[in-house]
């Protein structure tokens, strides 16, 4: 991967000046490259990772849902996946190998919201053959970022 992309992936807020220093390229070339990456869909979005557990009322319910589907003739899994990922509750959708075909990340304000999504929107789809829902209890690391470090014990050890 290009060094510009690697730097932006780890810190999307890095300035053009800092990118120039880090890569040894000039600002105009970097700016041109970034615009080209955006135009080609290589850079899709700039994102901030937020630890919602530290925000009062910031965390709803997150579920990982494994879905078995029947692929459709001539379009395979893509058409079914597209129908599913267009639901606003679905935050991410991945095609997998193995027992299940799709892995969804679904967010809702509470367990009932996620349960309603599964029962009323996902399960009734004719291509869906089964689903297993796992509720997320805690996040330790997101997008390569550790969300909370263990606090260091500053107390001195007692020795005899």
For each of the domains in the chain, give its residue range(s) and CATH number, in order of start. Answer: 3-40 (no CATH), 53-138 (3.30.70.920)
What pLDDT does 58 receive?
A: 65
Q: Which residues of 5-25 are buried (b: 16+ CB within 10 A; e: fewer)?
A: eebbeeeeeeeeeebbeebee
What pLDDT does 101 receive?
A: 97
Average pLDDT by stretches of 10, the chain with 160 residues: 90 92 93 95 88 76 96 89 97 96 96 96 96 94 82 72
What pLDDT does 53 receive?
A: 77
Residues whose CB is less than 8 angstroms from the CB of residue 53 and which lie 6 or more positions away in sequence, other chains included: 59, 138, 139, 147, 148
* Alpha carbons 81 and 101: distance in angstroms, whole number: 9
Closest CA to 114 of 89, 136, 146: 89
pTM of the predicted model as reported, rounded to 2 decimal places = 0.77
Look up residue 12 and give its two tokens.
């999307």
For 64, list phi and psi in degrees, rounded to 5. -105, 125
What pLDDT does 148 receive?
A: 78
What pLDDT does 86 receive?
A: 98
Helix (H, G, I), strand (E, B) or coil at 136: coil
């Amino acid at each position: 991967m290009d060094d510009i992309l690697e730097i932006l992936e780890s810190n999307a807020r890095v300035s053009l000046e800092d990118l120039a220093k880090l890569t040894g390229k000039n600002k105009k070339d970097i700016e041109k490259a970034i615009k080209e990456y955006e135009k080609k869909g290589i850079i899709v979005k700039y994102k901030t990772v937020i630890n919602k557990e530290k925000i009062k009322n910031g965390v709803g319910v997150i579920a990982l849902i494994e879905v078995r589907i029947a692929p459709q003739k001539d379009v395979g899994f893509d058409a079914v996946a597209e129908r599913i990922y267009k639901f606003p509750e679905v935050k991410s959708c991945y095609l997998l190998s193995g027992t299940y075909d799709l892995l969804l990340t679904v967010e809702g304000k509470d367990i009932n919201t996620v349960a309603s999504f599964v029962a009323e929107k996902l399960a009734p789809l004719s291509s869906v053959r089964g689903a297993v829902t796992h509720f997320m209890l805690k996040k330790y690391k997101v997008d390569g970022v550790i969300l909370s470090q263990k606090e260091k014990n500053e107390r001195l050890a007692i020795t005899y």
